[in-house]
Structure 1
Amino acid sequence: MTWNLKRTAQCAKCPWIKGVDPHDIPDGYCETKHANLASTIARPGELNLGTLTVMACHESPVGDEAHCVGWLANQAGPGNNIGLRLSLMSCGNAGKIRLRGDQHERFEDTLP
């Protein structure tokens, strides 16, 4: 059964873009909220095939969250999130993911 991402284009204020200051993200983004996102990052050597915890785009409304496109690209690529990679195999529009500029390689670098 296929599924589709709600958004495939990375937003301009995505913290995965090098040079973006996540403190500029609207609606009270802070270090505490950022630290809580660490649970969405695959750990090296970990194979978690249970429930996939994802990072939502800060532009998506509460209750209708969309994947963070920067997170998707990182975790499907250098982040090596096997659970996400397996899930994307049945995603009908994963090939339409578009990033803006240079990206951070590690979650730790997304908060200056």
Structure 2
Amino acid sequence: MSIGVQRRIRQCDKCPWKVSTDPHDIPHGYTETLHHALARTIAEPGSLHDAGHVMACHEHPPGDEADCVGWLMNQLGPGNNIPLRLKVRSCENIDAVTLDGPQHERFVDTLPKTRKEPAD
């Protein structure tokens, strides 16, 4: 988490937190195994314990990571990540961060149980 300035302020097109995204269509090496590993970035709602992990945006390569906007806003909102809320108090541009459309409220919902079939 960037404390002074949030690098990404707009949610990317294929963010898994968007209800409209099928995570199987996420580019840049998406796998279900990697997706499941992201569960470690989710704080227990209302807990004062810091999960210690941040979900990075898949559009940024390793070494140039940026926070996933969908994850960030989920953890600040419905996820009730209190340690993260305290960290962003010093973030200069947190008010500029915007979401794009309806969002999943829980991490478990970001990975559909079955792959969507293309429409005929």
Report if TM-score (shorter chain) is over 0.5: yes
Higher mean C-alpha displacement, 37-46 vs 96-105: 37-46
Equivalent residue for 2:17?
16
Deviates more, 1:23-32 or 1:11-20: 23-32
SS class of match (1:34): helix
Find the aligned partners of 2:12 and 2:87 in 1 and give their Cα distance: 22
| Conserved 8 A contact 2:78-2:105 | yes
Whether contact under 8 Å (1:52, 1:84) holds in the other structure is: no
Alignment of structure 1 residues 77-92 onto 2, 5 Å: 77-92=77-92
Q: Distance in 1 between matches of 2:107 and 2:4?
A: 26
Aligned match of 1:32? 33
TM-score by length of structure 2 reads: 0.87
- Count matched residues: 110
1:95 is aligned to 95
Looking at structure 1, the residues matched to 65 and 48 of structure 2 have their Cα atoms a distance apart, in angstroms, of: 25
4+ runs deviating over 4 angstroms? none
SS of residue in 2 equivalent to 1:70: helix
Question: Following the alignment from structure 2 to structure 1, what is the Cα–Cα distance between the partners of residues 46 and 84?
Answer: 14
Amino acid at match of 1:28: G
RMSD over equivalenced CA pairs, Å = 1.3
Looking at structure 1, the residues matched to 82 and 47 of structure 2 have their Cα atoms a distance apart, in angstroms, of 8
Task: Please tell me the residue identity of whatever aligns with 1:69.
Answer: V
**Aligned residue number for residue 67 of structure 1:** 67
Q: Which has the larger radius of gyration?
A: 2
Q: Distance in 2 between matches of 1:95 and 1:9?
A: 11
Unaligned runs of 5+ in 1: none
Higher relative contact order (CA 8 A, sep 6+): 1
Identity of aligned residues (%): 61
- How far off is 1:28 after superposition? 2.2
Deviation at residue 101 of structure 1 after TM alignment: 0.2
Cα distance in structure 2, aligned partners of 1:88 and 1:35? 26
